[in-house]
A and B are shown apart, each in its own frame.
Chain A
Amino acid sequence: MITKSIEDYLETISRLRERGKAITTTNIAKGLKVSPASVTEMLQKLAKQGYLKYTPYRGVALTPKGEKIGKKVLRKHRVMEKFLRTLGFAKSRVHKEACELEHHIPNDLERAIHQRIEREKTLPPSGPNVIPLTGLMEGETCIVVDILGGFGARRRLATLGIRTNKKVRVITSQPLGGPVVVEVDRAHVAIGRGMAQKVLVEVVK
């Protein structure tokens, strides 16, 4: 059985190789945030199961079997990261969740998500997660994905910090068609309802 821990090791080794770094116990330990001693122990185990070849003090080389699993987990990790980012999750959260999800997501689902992300890159942002700023409730946080309207409107919004990829928190959305007050870069900005309608955002949960 391929355990979560085995996948993590193979993934980390693949990543190191991709980046052209030396595949040493120290580097693996750093990547996995474990002690070098436990790495040595695990590498011996993995070698026994035929995932890699391990020569103490020389280094590690993945077998074709090991390489296949390592690459697959690494790919799943990256797809999940991308996916979570399009949902508007913060960077720190994205990595953490992807580390978990990579072990559970079936191959076909991973492929489907990957295709969707690639297609959306070429389309203007839309879909269930993209809504105008006016649709947010008090206290919700979102990422600006696009600003409709001409150059002038974009420029005006930009001067007060409302630009794409900016994180924005709604302080208050005044009733009866009043303005929306948001926090961006720790500063507060009041935006008239019509202008706020043109700011497309994705809610961050």
Chain B
Amino acid sequence: MRVLLMGNPNVGKSVVFSRLTGTNVVVSNYPGTTVEFTKGTMKIGQRKADVIDVPGNYTLEPTTKAEEVAVEMLRDGDVVINIVDSTNLERNLYLTLQLLEKKVPVIVALNLSDEAKHKGITIDDKKLEKLLDVPVVPTVALTGEGFKKLVSRIPKARAHAYRHTDDQRWEKVGWIAKEVQQIVHRHPTLAERLGDATIRPITGIPFAMGTVIVMFFVIRFIGGGLFANVFDPAFGAYEPLGMRMSEMLGSGGFLHNILIGNLIDGKIDFAESMGLLTTGIFIPFAMVLPYVFAFYLVLGLLEDSGYLPRLGVLVDTGMHRVGMHGLAVVPMLLGLGCNVPGALSSRILETRRQRFIALTLMGIAVPCMAQIAIIFGLVGPYGIGALAMVFATLFTIWAVIGLLLNKILAGESPEMFTEIPPYRRPYWGATLKKLWIRIRFFLTTAIPFVLLGVFLVNVLYTLGIMDFIGKIASPVVVGMLGLPSIATGALIIGFLRKDVAVGMLIPLGLSMQQLVIASVVLAIYFPCVATFAMFIRELGIKDTVKSTLIMIGMALLVGTLLRLVLLGV
């Protein structure tokens, strides 16, 4: 049996999902599209059922990809739990009426009924049930109130095949809302006043800046703290085992190089040895994972609190200058975690032109958290100024390229049109479930590539290919960028994994200025292979090539400029 969760965006659907399902949750794409949905299982009486969290939508008219998918999924659904936002009955019931035209059994969860109460709204759910002729159950997803009843009444869900025109539907919705709901005027709550204050420029812009700064330090604090206090010590404890393996492998030779890597002063150096069992697991688990965890935790809280659309409104004007609109903050922020889901989320932008700009800017100037983590480790010791240099350069490039692309590219960039949800206290169950899905995604996609990267480094060095490429590339790497020719290896591996690539700079003894140049060039010149595949899927080959040429050109240009500014020659 298939249970579909359907409803407008921001009605607490994912919290309901998280309540209904267990830990076994998968995110997948709907066949043939990049529209994602989450799937889990639940028990209805003795039967097991699949629960699908359908992307939120306002209507069933297939005008966007997400809506198309929702309509498509409806055909395979056995029952629909229609999650309705009690605080905005009229708009939500419009979708309900459309569902009641589709001959699929529907049960209504009148969610956020506590929030409605706070806002002075009382809804007669019995009467609503009578008028809609399907079961209606008030719920509070945050506390779990009403869920037992909701589940027990799923078998009572009823199908209808009404017919309405748009106007008839609105009329009927208006009438039903008037019949079942009573509204008493209430003074705005603290959350509502905060919501208004953080969207008005005078108060909102300082708040946004504060949020970004706090976010940065929280991520550094949690990420750095986890590394120093948990993961680094853990690898310290693992070292004797590594040394024993090293001895068993004869302390040298090809296999030793691949598995353990180079011993430095007769010891394993997890950051530099470059073996599969040393650096190959140290980079993803110890250096990157803490930051990825910290980033997604903070991002999840920002998303679930309802702040991001407000940030989108504040930056909308700026985003228009670079050819997108305010909601582009979502793919850009997600891109900071990993460009792959970042690129995927760019489909909230309506046109191809906007998506091309978003992806190109992301590929060029939005380093992923894996890369940032290693840059923190590498450049961080030179102080906040050195880090600021890297990120300020990237941001400048982002803005300049965006302005240029917006001038050059033909086509339109539609405007922002979105609901601004009220601030809500995030529900830990749902936030942590999302965090877990994202961490799992990182582990499963990153680790194979990190290991492959480390493996290739060894093979290429052993066979002398790296030296050969180094010689060929030396006019560029040494001549233009002012880096030692051995740094070419990092640029090669950067195609595969940026974190391994930046990590390869560690043993080279570069100066602070060279580290800044190398970090920036590595960020710009090419997306990693996983992102590249994503680009092809989203943009097609032709546009991906265009985008890539811009990246390579910019990397050389910016690298050379930085070299002239920082090294003076």
Give the interface of A toward B (CB within 8 A): 138, 152, 155-161, 163, 171-172, 174-179, 181, 185-195
Contacts and interface: CB of A to CB of B under 8 A. Distances in A.
Given A159-B58, A177-B317, A192 B201 contact: no
A160 B85 CA distance: 13
B164 interface: no
Interface of B: 58-59, 61, 63, 87-88, 90-91, 94, 119, 121, 166, 170, 195-196, 199-201, 204, 309, 312-314, 316-317, 320, 325-326, 414-422
A142 to B, nearest CB: 17
A178 B313 contact: yes
B91 A174 contact: no
A163 B326 contact: no
Given A163-B170, A189-B418, A195-B415, A179 B313 contact: yes
Contact of B91 (A156, A160, A178, A192): A160
A188 B201 contact: no
Given A188-B195, A191-B417, A172 B91 contact: no
By secondary structure, the A interface counts as: mixed
A186 B196 CA distance: 12
Nearest to A162: B417
A171 B58 contact: no
Given A159-B59, A174-B201, A174-B314, A187 B418 contact: no
Given A159-B94, A185-B88, A172 B316 contact: no
A172 B416 contact: no
B415 A172 contact: no
B435 to A, nearest CB: 27
B403 to A, nearest CB: 15
Contacts of B119: 186
A187 B419 contact: yes
A178 B316 contact: yes
Contacts of A185: 88, 90-91
Contacts of B312: 190
Given A174-B316, A179-B313, A195-B415, A187 B200 contact: no
B317 A181 contact: no
Nearest to B94: A159
B166 to A, nearest CB: 7
B415 A192 contact: yes
A121 B137 CA distance: 44
A161 B91 contact: yes
Contacts of A171: 196, 199-200
Contacts of A174: 201, 313-314, 316-317
B91 A177 contact: no
Nearest to B88: A187
User: Which of A157, A171, A185, A187 has the most B CB atoms < 10 Å from its CB?
Assistant: A187
A160 B417 contact: yes
Nearest to B166: A155
